[in-house]
Amino acid sequence: MKRLVVAALFLLPGIARADYLDKGDDLWGICTDNAPGHKYLCIGMATAYFDMMLATGYRCTVMATDRDQLRDAVLKYLAENPGMRSQPASELALTSLKAAFQCVPPAPPQAASPAPRPGKPQPRGAPIQLTPIH
């Protein structure tokens, strides 16, 4: 059975690839083609990228007052950098929004204190420390 699984993994290498769903060209096309509904899709995508930045801890000096500003910031970056549009749309949107709204990424997490050695008794009432297994 193990051999069958290993053979399948070698025969299907495309499964493990980490291709992005949207490239900058895709986002540019959606935002500029004037197809019905694409204006709202473009605004929604720019808003979603910005919301995700905020949800993951980015802090911005300038805050957007409406969704059109978010779309405009992404479109301006894509228009000024056509050679970059083959890159993932998420990276391009992140770069454009960070610049336009003066955003800084969250600080890296601090290293946790070392976990107690197995077998060493913990004092009663001490917090339980969980250590991820790598």
Over residues 71-99, mean pLDDT: 96
Give the pLDDT confidence of 1-35 residue by residue, as tens digits: 555 444 444 444 444 445 668 899 999 999 999 89
Bigger pLDDT: 46 vs 133: 46
Q: How buried is residue 16: exposed, middle or buried, by Cβ count under 10 Å (0-12/13-18/19+)?
A: exposed
Note the pLDDT of residue 2.
53
Note the pLDDT of residue 20.
63
Note the pLDDT of residue 113.
64
Give the pLDDT confidence of 109-128 residue by residue, as tens digits: 777 666 656 666 666 766 76
Return the structure tokens found at 64. 């957007």
User: The dihedral of CA 19, 36, 53, 68: what is its sign?
Assistant: positive
| pTM: predicted TM-score of the whole model, two decimal places | 0.67
Note the pLDDT of residue 86.
94
Question: Given a cut of 60, is residue 97 above it in pLDDT?
Answer: yes
User: The dihedral of CA 93, 44, 65, 32: what is its sign?
Assistant: positive
DSSP string, 32-54: HS--TTHHHHHHHHHHHHHHHHH
Give the pLDDT confidence of 68-80 residue by residue, as tens digits: 999 999 999 999 9
Note the pLDDT of residue 123.
66
